[in-house]
Chain A
Amino acid sequence: MEPVLEIRNLNVDYGLGDKAVHAVRDVNLTLHRGEVLGLAGESGSGKSTLAYGLTRLLAPPGVITGGEVVYHPERSPAYDVLRLTDNELRAFRWAETAIVFQGAMNSLNPVHKISTQLTDVLRAHEPKMSEHSRNARAREMLKVVGISPDRMEAYPHQLSGGMRQRVMIGMALILQPQVVIMDEPTTALDVVMQRQILGQLIELRERLGFSVIFITHDLSLLVEFSNRIAIMYGGRIVEEAPASTIYRDALHPYSKGLLGSFPALRGPRRELAGIPGSPPDLAGMPSGCSFHPRCPKAFDPCSANIPVLGRPGTPDGSVRSVACWLHPVPAGEE
């Protein structure tokens, strides 16, 4: 599959010098064209920091201390997002990569009409567009996300939570970006609405062909909707595999813990187990594998060395990687 966004060795810190907190460490991740990549993990595992870091949206004191974020446009050569100048970055954002923010329901300005807020971005990115075609595009976008275009003149408070969420998604898609980053977009909604919106998102993705990075702490949601899942812990990716593989056969004890903490709809009854302890303090990470103090299967090498994310020697040869000493990377392989 063709990659659209490649994250290479991305490191993100909060603060500078000795006091810096390493929130994202050596993350390598590839988003392929047209796929939904799920990013899961507990609060404070670095999911949102990763998403905002790769778009350079982190507020001070966030700094990117290294790595590359290579974007592959559809018809022109690839470039590193982290090397763009301010104006280039402005042009890149939204047109190539759009974000639906955490708590998107409150991201709409309460004193402006939906139409104003939808056409605002068109005015900025495509100044030559006429007023009429701007409005036409906004109407079309509302229709695409399942809102009647006659709500164009509504104010945000006149819409329900789910509708506001859809407006936000429509707004993110209005310039037809290749990559859409969704940071817990459905957290504030009830499960019925969540399902509806996500179903619609998948449908839209098939129609418009964008790729999605979907950030959530709700692994059950990802199992259903994403193609691949990357699990983050303590600022690192600890496991990455196709969604069904993770669901059936998670290798990392942390992924297993996450999967064991929600009930399955079908299948035999089983005991639900949480993960003991609490997420690590990023300022004082444990040595070795950062999960080892909470890991039920920790053994000698876990506290001494950091496991490397790599392909374990699985017999079926599926494309997956894990960072765990239980599943060491065979020598010679990366």
Chain B
Amino acid sequence: MTIPTSSIEQVIPGQGSMAQPESVRPGKAKRQRFLFLRNGKAATGLVILGVYVVLAIIGPWITPYDPSARGNDLVQPPSADHWFGTTHLGQDVFSQVLEGTQSVMFVGFLAGTIATVLSVLIGVTAGYLGGKADDTLSALSNVFLVIPAVPLMIIITSILENASDTLIALIIGLTSWSWNARVLRAQTLSLRRRDYVEAARATGEKTWRIVIFELLPNLTAVIASGFVGTVIFAVLSEITLAFIGITSNSGWNWGTILFWAQGQQALGQGAWWWFVPAGLAIAFLGTALSLINFGIDEFVSPRLRSAGKTKLKTASGGTVRMRIGFTPVLSNSAEPHTHARPLPREAVK
């Protein structure tokens, strides 16, 4: 069996092994940065969320009407003048939805951030330190776990007249961190016994460094999903509070719209345009956040990441489908051997 030596030498240049990674690096770094966006789910979620953020910022300026201003067209279905129709007072529903975006997004993200920071601080600390600190912090999160969040919010907001969005976000954030803290504590307990954490401890790394460089990267997916979950929860809580009329109805959010729609029997009147836009807005926001969550999951876990890229380009321009369990065979130039195939087991016997 002879092998054409020259062609093999072309494939393997006589350079040292160090030369190759050097030349590959610039392209690789660039691709790594946009890897997250190459994930279809994450990109879709981010685009939808981006639209919401933009609307939250510029919404109040681009509303075609003052959302509270009364008009003469009462309970009108959608038209060119009023895209989402009007309410029983002739208010423009489209303007109300736009105006309401800001409050919803603000409360959702502020509460999500507060809850995530608290859950990471308490959960990871409890899990990593163990002992008395763990007992105390676990007891604390257990207490918060059994506090019914929505009734508590109802009580607090009804005591405080005209609770602002910030206050509502604070209350939601401060009451909804405990589930994530528990999850993070459990995960940290498992991670801190892994060999690489033990090794880091044995080499004398400082606790903060172990937590930030060894533990947190492994917790990214849990933290991110906790954040997204809390944002959805906070949005729904704020809308619930507004819907049942607890928070002040001077400002607009999607819950306020639903409050008025409910109060004026929009469904009974057949005025679907009154509550459908706000409901869809909530649903799309939830969808976007969930998609981002899936994207983060795939991005953070190297195994899911490589599984996502199934089609690759070969040097000759063809595509190869990578699948686990069926290694692709490239360009078999040898002439077909035979067309014989494995026989069914019964036939052989």
Contact pick for A306, options B8, B334, B348, CB 8 Å: B8
Shortest Cβ gap from B326 to chain A (Å): 6
Which of B334, B337, B343 counts the most A-chain CB atoms under 10 A from its CB? B337
Given contacts A309-B1, A310-B1, A334-B2, whether A76 and B348 have CB atoms under 8 Å apart is yes
Within 8 A of B (CB), among A40-88: 52-53, 56-68, 70, 73-80, 82-84, 86, 88
Asked if A26 is at the interface of the complex by the 8 Å CB criterion, the answer is yes
Query: Bound state CA distance, A95 and B8, in angstroms?
Result: 37
Given contacts A18-B315, A61-B322, A310-B1, whether A95 and B342 have CB atoms under 8 Å apart is yes
- Which of A187-195, A223-231, A262-270, A277-285 contacts its partner? A277-285
Closest to B23 in A: A18
Do B20 and A78 touch across chains, with their CB atoms under 8 A apart? no
Chain B residues with Cβ below 8 Å from A319 are none
Asked if B15 is at the interface of the complex by the 8 Å CB criterion, the answer is yes
Asked if B195 is at the interface of the complex by the 8 Å CB criterion, the answer is no
Do B315 and A66 touch across chains, with their CB atoms under 8 A apart? no
Within 8 A of B (CB), among A124-150: 125-126, 128
Query: Bound state CA distance, A286 and B2, in angstroms?
Result: 20
Closest to B346 in A: A128
Do B342 and A92 touch across chains, with their CB atoms under 8 A apart? yes
Do A64 and B328 touch across chains, with their CB atoms under 8 A apart? yes
Query: Bound state CA distance, A60 and B346, in angstroms?
Result: 34
Within 8 A of A (CB), among B298-349: 306-307, 312-315, 320, 322-334, 336-346, 348
Asked if B80 is at the interface of the complex by the 8 Å CB criterion, the answer is no
Closest to B324 in A: A59
Asked if B5 is at the interface of the complex by the 8 Å CB criterion, the answer is yes
Do B327 and A58 touch across chains, with their CB atoms under 8 A apart? yes
Asked if B143 is at the interface of the complex by the 8 Å CB criterion, the answer is no
Do A287 and B14 touch across chains, with their CB atoms under 8 A apart? yes
Closest to B334 in A: A68
Asked if B3 is at the interface of the complex by the 8 Å CB criterion, the answer is yes
Do A64 and B329 touch across chains, with their CB atoms under 8 A apart? yes
Query: Bound state CA distance, A30 and B9, in angstroms?
Result: 27
Do B345 and A126 touch across chains, with their CB atoms under 8 A apart? yes
Contact pick for B16, options A26, A28, A76, A284, CB 8 Å: A284
In this complex, the interface size class of chain A, counting residues with CB under 8 Å from chain B, is 35 or more
A to B contact number (C-beta, < 8 Å): 132
Given contacts A285-B12, A309-B1, whether A83 and B326 have CB atoms under 8 Å apart is no
Query: Bound state CA distance, A256 and B324, in angstroms?
Result: 38
Given contacts A63-B328, A95-B345, A334-B1, whether A16 and B314 have CB atoms under 8 Å apart is yes
Query: Bound state CA distance, A207 and B307, in angstroms?
Result: 42
Do B24 and A68 touch across chains, with their CB atoms under 8 A apart? no
Contact with B along A113-128 (1 / 0, CB 8 A): 0000000000001101
Given contacts A22-B11, A56-B326, whether A77 and B342 have CB atoms under 8 Å apart is no
Chain B residues with Cβ below 8 Å from A70 are 337
Shortest Cβ gap from B317 to chain A (Å): 11
Asked if A305 is at the interface of the complex by the 8 Å CB criterion, the answer is yes
Given contacts A17-B315, A26-B3, whether A60 and B322 have CB atoms under 8 Å apart is yes
In this complex, the interface size class of chain B, counting residues with CB under 8 Å from chain A, is 35 or more
Query: Bound state CA distance, A281 and B145, in angstroms?
Result: 54
Do A60 and B331 touch across chains, with their CB atoms under 8 A apart? no
Asked if B17 is at the interface of the complex by the 8 Å CB criterion, the answer is yes
Do B342 and A64 touch across chains, with their CB atoms under 8 A apart? no
Given contacts A63-B320, A66-B333, A83-B336, whether A56 and B345 have CB atoms under 8 Å apart is no
Query: Bound state CA distance, A79 and B32, in angstroms?
Result: 42
Within 8 A of B (CB), among A227-252: none
Do A308 and B3 touch across chains, with their CB atoms under 8 A apart? yes
Given contacts A73-B343, A73-B348, A308-B2, whether A82 and B332 have CB atoms under 8 Å apart is yes
Shortest Cβ gap from B129 to chain A (Å): 31
Chain A residues with Cβ below 8 Å from B19 are 284
Which of B326, B329, B346 counts the most A-chain CB atoms under 10 A from its CB? B329
Do B3 and A306 touch across chains, with their CB atoms under 8 A apart? yes
Asked if A91 is at the interface of the complex by the 8 Å CB criterion, the answer is yes
Query: Bound state CA distance, A74 and B12, in angstroms?
Result: 40
Do B327 and A79 touch across chains, with their CB atoms under 8 A apart? no
Asked if A184 is at the interface of the complex by the 8 Å CB criterion, the answer is no
Do A79 and B338 touch across chains, with their CB atoms under 8 A apart? yes
Chain A residues with Cβ below 8 Å from B314 are 16-17
Do B338 and A308 touch across chains, with their CB atoms under 8 A apart? no
Query: Bound state CA distance, A307 and B148, in angstroms?
Result: 77
Do A82 and B329 touch across chains, with their CB atoms under 8 A apart? yes
Closest to B343 in A: A76
Asked if A96 is at the interface of the complex by the 8 Å CB criterion, the answer is yes
Contact pick for A125, options B2, B8, B345, CB 8 Å: B345
Asked if A221 is at the interface of the complex by the 8 Å CB criterion, the answer is no
Closest to A305 in B: B5
Query: Bound state CA distance, A315 and B17, in angstroms?
Result: 41
Do A284 and B17 touch across chains, with their CB atoms under 8 A apart? yes
Given contacts A73-B343, A285-B12, A334-B1, whether A66 and B20 have CB atoms under 8 Å apart is no
Which of A8, A84, A284 counts the most B-chain CB atoms under 10 A from its CB? A284
Given A16-B313, A284-B17, 4 other A-B residues pairs in contact with their CB atoms under 8 A: A17-B314, A61-B312, A68-B332, A125-B345
Closest 7 A/B residue pairs (Cβ): A284-B17, A60-B322, A77-B340, A79-B340, A58-B327, A17-B315, A56-B327
User: Would you list 29 pairs from A and B whose C-beta atoms are within 8 A, ordered by A residue?
Assistant: A16-B314, A17-B313, A17-B315, A22-B12, A53-B327, A57-B327, A60-B306, A60-B307, A60-B322, A60-B323, A61-B306, A61-B312, A63-B327, A63-B328, A64-B329, A67-B334, A68-B337, A73-B343, A79-B338, A80-B336, A80-B338, A82-B329, A83-B329, A84-B341, A89-B326, A91-B344, A95-B345, A126-B345, A306-B3
